[in-house]
Amino acid sequence: MLLAAGTAALGSRLGGRAFAAPGGGPLLDHDTPVDLDGTEYVDLSDRVGALASLVTGTVLVTFRTTSHNEAMTLFSASDPTVPSSNITLNLSRGALRFSARNKGTVLIDVVTRTRYDDGLPHTVAVTVGPSGTRLHAGGRMVFETARRAFLGDVPGLGAMALGRNLDSDHPGGEWFCTGTIERAAVWDRVLGESELVAQSPRPDPADLGRISVILNSDTPATWVLTGDSITHGALHTDGWRSYPEHWTERVRWELGKPKNRDFVIDTGVSGATGAELVAGFAERVAAFSPEVVSIMIGTNDIATPGLGPEAYRANLVSLVRSVRALPGSPVPVLQSPNPVDPAKWPGRVGLSRYAQVMGEVAAQQNAVFVDHHTDWTGDGQVPLALLNDGLHPNNRGHHRLALKMFKDLRVFDRDSRVCSLRVP
């Protein structure tokens, strides 16, 4: 915990834009980064009075974690004289959580399945208005509910802080944050998506937000993962799970009910190319009425006459547009092919160019891009231990593909049995 003098000094240092006039800008805005070690916090209690009556509004925090604490407070306002009277935006085992309690009575308690304790910078927000409560990440909505509660619904607010929660049962504080809080701001109105994007130093792609909504929703969804033999999981896993099967276990079991009512359909076919996917789109994708479509392709394109990088590009653009043209406008996800052993497959060394083209298409089409090729070659070499025959991923390689997918789509949990699996 910071000593009183230190707290006051820190609060002053952060308070350069503490208050703005109502009607547009934030009522409270701390925009100087502060590093917290799990015992420190920023005391804003002298400012809680200006916010305590708000029944609608926005709380926004930009942060980066440096640990995986069970619970980490980002923003909290509370009545320190009684137990369990608080409104808190925090991380719960990495998931974004917003809760409000009045002397132990829960007014609202919502938590995402998506996670944000990955050490990367994130801007999260909660907006509370007449239509309910929404949680946001990177400027994009990731969760919504008709339930609502805000600062004015918790009487007696006398303490406010970044990095900890305070009540009579925990006079020294609880749920301390370990990491950097770059900014925290509160508005007396609900910010729209364009405003939240503008307030986010690193906005998320809109489609990543849509995937998060699907993951955080209790409405069943259908996921189609399509591609070639790598997505097919043919032969080279030696009986272990392929990356689509790891994804199935993570979503349909580990994320809990009712996500077990989601369906994950693998339509990968050994030997497939982008051109064949375009030609067979109706039977391999459209037939399943998906909400999300993952496309990993390219390993065979490079070895097929007439399917050079520009033809590959055109096929990817066609696939992304075809996915979005389906009923409900499903979300496309592009996943680059893994690299190959150049000694065994010299004719496919140029896959790096195909991965680059896929990244360019993703950027141009505003699609989510999971870049396995760069992930595997980050140290400058192809990790041969992840390949069975120098081209197809083995059991370790498929788990590596799944881990990258988990992390990029924000469902990685180091305590999960799938995420922490040790493959011999």
> Would you say 15 and 30 are in contact if contact means Cβ atoms under 8 Å apart?
yes
Q: How far is residue 261 from each of residues 190, 215, 220, 226, measured CA to CA in Å?
A: 33, 12, 5, 20
User: What mean pLDDT comes out for the span 67-72?
Assistant: 96
pLDDT averaged over the chain?
A: 94
Chain center to CA of 329: 20
Entry pTM: 0.93
User: Computed from CA positions of residues 227, 228, 234, 238, in that sequence, does the dihedral angle turn out positive or negative?
Assistant: negative
- Cα-Cα-Cα-Cα torsion 192, 322, 411, 57, nearest 10 degrees, comes to 10
Strand 57-65 vs strand 122-129: parallel, antiparallel, or unpaired? antiparallel
Tokens of 215: 């993951």
Domain 4-204, CATH among 3.40.50.2000, 2.60.120.200, 3.10.129.10, 2.60.40.10:
2.60.120.200
Q: Are 332 and 368 in contact (CB under 8 A)?
A: yes
- pLDDT tops 80 at residue 8: no
Burial of 44 (0-12, 13-18, 19+ CB in 10 A): buried
Query: What pLDDT is attached to residue 424?
Result: 82
Residues of the chain with CATH 3.40.50.1110: 209-408
Residue 258: CA count within 13 A, CB half-sphere: 7
Pairing of strands 222-227, 292-296: parallel
Instruction: Please write the tens of the pLDDT for every residue from 292-304.
Output: 999 999 999 999 9
- pLDDT for 130 equals 97
pLDDT digits (tens, 9 = 90+) for 376-400: 999 899 999 999 999 999 999 999 9
Cis amide leading into 201 (omega within 30)? no
At 297, phi and psi to the nearest 5? -155, 155
Please identify, in words, the CATH class of the domain defined by 209-408: alpha beta
- Report how far residue 244's alpha carbon sits from residue 246's, in angstroms, rounded to the nearest whole number: 5
Structure tokens at 262: 């989601």
Report in angstroms the alpha-carbon separations of 397 from 228, 266, 350, 368: 15, 18, 20, 21
Distance CA 96, CA 89 (A): 8
User: What CA–CA distance (Å, rounded) separates 93 from 414?
Assistant: 10
Is residue 19 predicted with pLDDT exceeding 50?
no
Within the chain, all domains assigned CATH 2.60.120.200 are found at 4-204
